[in-house]
A and B are shown apart, each in its own frame.
Chain A
Amino acid sequence: DGGITQSPKYLFRKEGQNVTLSCEQNLNHDAMYWYRQDPGQGLRLIYYSQIVNDFQKGDIAEGYSVSREKKESFPLTVTSAQKNPTAFYLCASSIRDTNTDTQYFGPGTRLTVL
């Protein structure tokens, strides 16, 4: 089955620790994205990558880092510099259809800072 997987489903972090969230896709999509979802707010873009070995900052990149060494994988590291990391994190990938990029989402990772 083709799809997007994220792991772990739940993650607990102590203050001052870096943690890495995994995102893998087997849809052969070129572009991948990381979003953060907080209650009452729309999804906010953290980072995106349109091609291997290249990525761009989104609206809220401070305190986060990414890598794109393989087409299938786009891990997100939440660093200790992120002041309020507790949130639901969503990974997506997209395929271009005419002039639009339809995004498909993974199941999400809920990060809680203790």
Chain B
Amino acid sequence: EDQVTQSPEALRLQEGESSSLNCSYTVSGLRGLFWYRQDPGKGPEFLFTLYSAGEEKEKERLKATLTKKESFLHITAPKPEDSATYLCAVQGNNDMRFGAGTRLTVKP
């Protein structure tokens, strides 16, 4: 069965303190790995799609990377406005599976 595990569950950073969020997955026939940002009480906002191992994508302070077993979302010099829950999802041959998310808090 396809599975997605995100770690850590919660992460607290000081403004400017870079770090990474992890998304480990098992899937039959990876078609895409997705990262979303979700603010409290709102719907997830699409960030990136990664299609194959070795691929990287960047947007402002965020950089997503992909291997055959996991994806990392690197946050460089975060700001308080980066505080949110970050969701990872994988699409395989069967369906789409979502992780439970990592709740990021960036303190000024």
Tell me the A residues contacting B by CB distance below 8 Å: 4, 6, 35, 40-45, 90, 97-108, 110
Contacts and interface: CB of A to CB of B under 8 A. Distances in A.
| Chain A CB within 10 Å, residue with most, of B9, B36, B98 | B98
5 contacts: A40-B9, A42-B4, A43-B44, A90-B44, A107-B42
Given A42-B4, A104-B46, A110 B41 contact: yes
Interface string B26-55: 000001101010000111111001010000
B90 to A, nearest CB: 10
B76 interface: no
Given A102-B32, A106-B43, A41 B96 contact: no
CB-based closest 10 A-B pairs? A100-B32, A105-B43, A42-B98, A43-B98, A105-B44, A107-B43, A108-B43, A42-B100, A100-B31, A99-B31
A45 B97 CA distance: 9
Secondary structure type dominating chain B contacts: strand
B49 A42 contact: no
Interface of B: 4, 9, 31-32, 34, 36, 41-46, 49, 51, 87, 89, 91, 95-101
A21 to B, nearest CB: 13
| Chain B CB within 10 Å, residue with most, of A40, A43, A97, A110 | A43
Contacts of B46: 102-105
A90 to B, nearest CB: 6
A1 to B, nearest CB: 15
